[in-house]
Amino acid sequence: MALRFPRFSQGLAQDPTTRRIWFGIATAHDFESHDDITEERLYQNIFASHFGQLAIIFLWTSGNLFHVAWQGNFETWVQDPLHVRPIAHAIWDPHFGQPAVEAFTRGGALGPVNIAYSGVYQWWYTIGLRTNEDLYTGALFLLFLSALSLIGGWLHLQPKWKPRVSWFKNAESRLNHHLSGLFGVSSLAWTGHLVHVAIPASRGEYVRWNNFLNVLPHPQGLGPLFTGQWNLYAQNPDSSSHLFGTSQGSGTAILTLLGGFHPQTQSLWLTDMAHHHLAIAILFLIAGHMYRTNFGIGHSIKDLLEAHIPPGGRLGRGHNGLYDTINNSIHFQLGLALASLGVITSLVAQHMYSLPAYAFIAQDFTTQAALYTHHQYIAGFIMTGAFAHGAIFFIRDYNPEQNEDNVLARMLDHKEAIISHLSWASLFLGFHTLGLYVHNDVMLAFGTPEKQILIEPIFAQWIQSAHGKTSYGFDVLLSSTSGPAFNAGRSIWLPGWLNAINENSNSLFLTIGPGDFLVHHAIALGLHTTTLILVKGALDARGSKLMPDKKDFGYSFPCDGPGRGGTCDISAWDAFYLAVFWMLNTIGWVTFYWHWKHITLWQGNVSQFNESSTYLMGWLRDYLWLNSSQLINGYNPFGMNSLSVWAWMFLFGHLVWATGFMFLISWRGYWQELIETLAWAHERTPLANLIRWKDKPVALSIVQARLVGLAHFSVGYIFTYAAFLIASTSGKFG
């Protein structure tokens, strides 16, 4: 018999129904469950797939560079970044009529194009790229790296080049390479690029391979480095009248601590960023050499974990047993990596707008909105993934004997206290926040807005003041003009910071009031509830009072049949599934808040946000309804405009989202009956009955239908908001 899909599971390959296809796809990446898998093959497969992942990333970024160089207007944009609209790529569409062709021919292009809202133009401009040739060179280089990655992946699957399990489990050497090699050396290399290419480009000097060795990045070369006079590298920075990309008003400094923003580009000083990356490089180069590798010096992580005895015995045996637990569990390691990456991605969303690193990106409002929303949603998915793999660790990899009375075991021992506290916090936040919003709604409805309950966020304002914001009049720390910190800041460190924080033209430490207080607590409710569901899913993954033997059923089981009532919906997978809905809702509130506050800030009518955000009808009417008007009338019998495609996507997003409920609010019996009826009709229809199926059509399983429903809900939700966000912002600001 010919091998059928899936080849990794002979049991599944012999399934006579369509379950074979869907379960095959669902378990394709669950290497642990495949036939004949060994620990060694498991590690080698994952290692090889990393090369494939890198190849895809390099190919994708190469494609970005290539299409902008081929069909974009980078060289025109560079001449006037504030007024030329950056083009992502051309559009060829046979459905376009003349009005559509005219509507989408923008940015000085000859035909219909897509405008770039990704910030790549600003990024490439900041790092020193100036011509289409530069972009093509970058695209070819990344294509080469992509090919190299594919070859690397193939090579490491050949018998001679397959790494052994001991190599994968050598934690100290891996830290050495990841901390020093990945973070340290790459940060140092990036500092080199900024100092040798980007900073000269910002001063009108074009450094490329042909003159790279002749142009000194600093007038004194390496002299100050070897003589210990490092402060010389910070002297004579660019002046506040510096025109970015020209020598007008430029200085010679390469590593500075100016603080604040370049007045013209509204982005961080390039010389500050070079300094930052150099500091990071040194930090990580040292960090990567603290652990004992082949040379017998430095720390052994296992010794560190076992030597640490918690004070007063309050944490039992502390970190004993953790080294082997983590080092032998891929899911634990992946959970840690995803948790870190998720937090970092959310921080990227925050810092890309509050401390913009790329020249002129702060004045490209649609790009700012798109990047914030994009990174927050990605962070949400990554963070929920961290808990999912944490739960799989408890089911597949956790060994109670190995972890007796250590911090991990004690987490499981007092899980009831953890879960009930999270539950209490969520209930408190939810009822109080909703109560305040609804009270304010009623007061508005009855014509007595002065009876609203409006709470000033005084603690947050105090923290902002401590960092130097003077408008609240707190007179504390950096906002106290007579304090030592304030005076030191004027000369020694970051003199530009205090100007930046009190400027109203940027997004740094925005002024906050009662509307912010309320939405902050609504977001806190969402965060705590999402966390509650995820933490409960992981801590109850091995078993609960209701179902003590839960771990024997695996990560995703629907129910244990009718005999044990109430075992539906309690698998660790179900917790992940429910948490994703809360995650999406929470990030919805986060992005609504960010977008509305910024729209009013950019338009100069901050009072609209301040007055309307204190009650729910204000959010529905003055944010959602008011800003979706362009979309609701996107195209009509009288013609169309450049927002029409977003209006269509807005509708399409709603359709995908609504389709999700078809899978979420029905169980498989309904579909099984429907399928059997359709199969009956098919077999009795002339011509159609010439086509037969090898696999008997059956309905999706409960868990699969939930996944399909969740995917449609998520994709539709994000598509709808993306269309709303981009259309409402670009419709106002171009």
Are 268 and 332 members of one domain? no
Query: What's 182-201 look like in SS3?
Result: HHHHHHHHHHHHHHHHHHHH
pLDDT computed for residue 504 by the predictor:
85
Are 152 and 187 members of one domain? no
Q: Which residues of the chain have pLDDT under 70?
A: 1-2
> Is 20 contained in some domain?
yes
User: Is 671 marked as a binding-site residue?
Assistant: yes
Are 224 and 272 members of one domain? yes
Helix axes 39-71, 132-155, angle to 10 degrees: 160
Are 723 and 649 members of one domain? yes
> Is 444 contained in some domain?
no
User: Is 29 marked as a binding-site residue?
Assistant: no
Give the span between the Cα atoms of 266 and 355, in whole angstroms: 9
Give the span between the Cα atoms of 170 and 682, in whole angstroms: 59
The string of pLDDT tens digits covering residues 338-379 is: 999 999 999 999 999 999 999 999 999 999 999 999 999 999
pLDDT computed for residue 434 by the predictor:
98
Among 151, 166, 181, where does a domain finish? Answer: 166
User: Is 331 marked as a binding-site residue?
Assistant: no
The DSSP string of 102-121 is HHH--TT-SS-EEEP-SSHH
> Is 246 contained in some domain?
yes
> Is 697 contained in some domain?
yes
Classified as helix, coil or strand, 90 is strand
Are 232 and 336 members of one domain? no
User: Is 269 marked as a binding-site residue?
Assistant: no
The DSSP string of 638-704 is TEE-TTHHHHHHHHHHHHHHHHHHHHHS--HHHHHHHHHHHHHHHHTSTTGGG---SSBP-PPPHHH
pLDDT computed for residue 607 by the predictor:
97
pLDDT computed for residue 382 by the predictor:
99
> Is 129 contained in some domain?
yes
Among residues 540, 325, 578, 317, the alpha carbon closest in space to that of 415 is found at: 540
Are 74 and 160 members of one domain? yes
Q: Are 509 and 361 in contact (CB under 8 A)?
A: no
User: Is 646 marked as a binding-site residue?
Assistant: no
> Is 184 contained in some domain?
yes
> Is 445 contained in some domain?
no
User: Is 568 marked as a binding-site residue?
Assistant: yes
pLDDT computed for residue 95 by the predictor:
87
Are 27 and 109 members of one domain? no
Report the domain count for the chain: 5
**16: amino acid identity, one letter:** P
Are 275 and 339 members of one domain? no
Give the span between the Cα atoms of 464 and 329, in whole angstroms: 42
pLDDT computed for residue 2 by the predictor:
59
Are 190 and 283 members of one domain? yes
Q: Are 660 and 713 in contact (CB under 8 A)?
A: yes
Q: What is the pTM of this model?
A: 0.96
Are 110 and 121 members of one domain? yes
Q: Which domain holds residue 71?
A: 40-166
> Is 21 contained in some domain?
yes
Are 64 and 29 members of one domain? no
Among 136, 166, 196, where does a domain finish? Answer: 166
Are 352 and 329 members of one domain? yes
Among 408, 442, 476, where does a domain finish? Answer: 408
Give the span between the Cα atoms of 389 and 332, in whole angstroms: 7
